[in-house]
């Protein structure tokens, strides 16, 4: 399993800042790209994720893995060429109430397939999307902790999936491979897994049979 040492994050909001803090705690070097100028972003990171470096999308893309933590409706801001060949961890969700209409996203089971269709050549993996940013920091625990929370990982590129699983483990969660990128639908809003609290065995068991739908929860 390839263990990432540097992490790029696209988006410096609630999720991006939480992932940055967690990654820094885990000893990773972190570079965050946002929409604001470098000085504004650097100032924000100094307050919210001290130790994280502010950069451009190309700086984040140069890291061992890049987490997408921007609203899905803003995906098309990203130049696919910059992320081609990179391990891209899609932590976004399609939340119609928040995103508004995103043309094309409903065409595939998983919104990560929409992400992959835009980011041609990127090695997209879905994970880190199915728990709240606050839980991400609160529930992270060392490997071997009884009942450690598990996160699902879905992707079509086996090496990229291994990198994402190594990242998830390093951040403090058990990583469970749940299938190809399309199986990421089982980690998204309206799935049983979304906002659910599962350990490795429980999460793996859910994916050994069709994941039952649950009523929509509040948007994240
Ligand atoms: N919050 C959670 O608990 C949570 C948990 C799991 C998954 N998610 C998913 O993560 C995604 C982000 O959620 P969030 O709660 O972190 O949203 P948020 O607090 O609104 O932050 C989104 C950030 O993305 C930035 N952004 C927008 N366009 C960008 C671009 N082109 N390049 C770089 N940065 C850009 C925004 O900057 P500006 O403000 O300058 O536009 C903002 O800082 C969503 O898809 C959400 O469903 C969220």
| HEC-encoded secondary structure of 12-48 | CCHHHHHHHHHHHHCCCEEEEECCCCHHHHHHHHHHH
Does residue 214 form part of some domain?
no
Does residue 216 form part of some domain?
no
| pLDDT at res. 37 | 83
Q: Which domain holds residue 161?
A: 6-206
Does residue 54 form part of some domain?
yes
| pLDDT at res. 1 | 46
Domain count, the chain: 1
CATH number, domain containing residue 146:
3.40.50.720
Does residue 121 form part of some domain?
yes
Residue 19 CA to ligand 1 centre (angstroms):
12
| pLDDT at res. 38 | 85
Pocket mutation for ligand 1, best pick of 8, 9, 14, 66 (most atoms within 8 Å of C-beta) = 14
Residue 201 CA to ligand 1 centre (angstroms):
30
Q: Of all helices (H) and strands (E), which one includes residue 154?
A: strand 150-155
**Residue bearing the CA closest to ligand 1, atom 25:** 11
| pLDDT at res. 214 | 52
Judging by DSSP bridges, how do beta strands 150-155 and 123-126 pair with one another? Answer: antiparallel
Taking the C-alpha atoms of residue 136 and residue 22, their distance in angstroms, rounded to an integer, is: 8
| pLDDT at res. 218 | 53
Q: Which residues line ligand 1 (CB under 6 A)?
A: 10-16, 33-36, 69-72, 74, 77-78, 91-93, 95, 129, 132-133, 220
Does residue 125 form part of some domain?
yes
| pLDDT at res. 36 | 87
Taking the C-alpha atoms of residue 24 and residue 27, their distance in angstroms, rounded to an integer, is: 5
| pLDDT at res. 191 | 95
| pLDDT at res. 216 | 56
Does residue 120 form part of some domain?
yes
**Residue bearing the CA closest to ligand 1, atom 10:** 92
Mean pLDDT by runs of 10 across the 220 residues of the chain is: 88 98 98 93 97 97 98 97 98 94 91 98 98 97 96 98 98 97 96 95 85 51
Does residue 122 form part of some domain?
yes
Does residue 215 form part of some domain?
no
């Amino acid at each position: 399993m390839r263990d990432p040492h540097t992490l790029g994050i696209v988006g410096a909001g609630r999720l991006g800042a939480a992932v940055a803090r967690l990654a820094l705690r885990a000893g990773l070097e972190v570079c965050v790209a946002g929409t604001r100028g470098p000085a504004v972003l650097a100032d924000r990171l100094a307050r919210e994720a001290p130790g994280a470096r502010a950069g451009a999308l190309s700086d984040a893309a140069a890291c061992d893995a890049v987490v997408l933590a921007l609203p899905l409706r803003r995906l098309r801001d990203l130049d696919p060429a910059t992320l081609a060949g990179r391990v891209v961890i899609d932590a976004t969700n399609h939340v119609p109430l928040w995103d508004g209409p995103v043309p094309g996203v409903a065409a595939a089971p998983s919104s990560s397939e929409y992400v992959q269709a835009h980011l041609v050549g990127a090695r997209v993996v879905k994970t880190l999307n199915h728990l709240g940013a606050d839980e991400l920091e609160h529930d992270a625990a060392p490997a071997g902790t009884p009942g450690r929370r598990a996160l699902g990982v879905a992707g079509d590129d086996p090496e990229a999936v291994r990198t994402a699983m190594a990242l998830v483990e390093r951040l403090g969660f058990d990583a469970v491979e749940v299938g190809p990128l399309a199986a990421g639908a089982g980690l998204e809003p309206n799935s049983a897994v979304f906002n659910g609290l599962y350990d490795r065995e429980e999460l793996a068991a859910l994916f050994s049979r069709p994941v039952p739908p649950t009523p929509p929860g509040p948007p994240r």
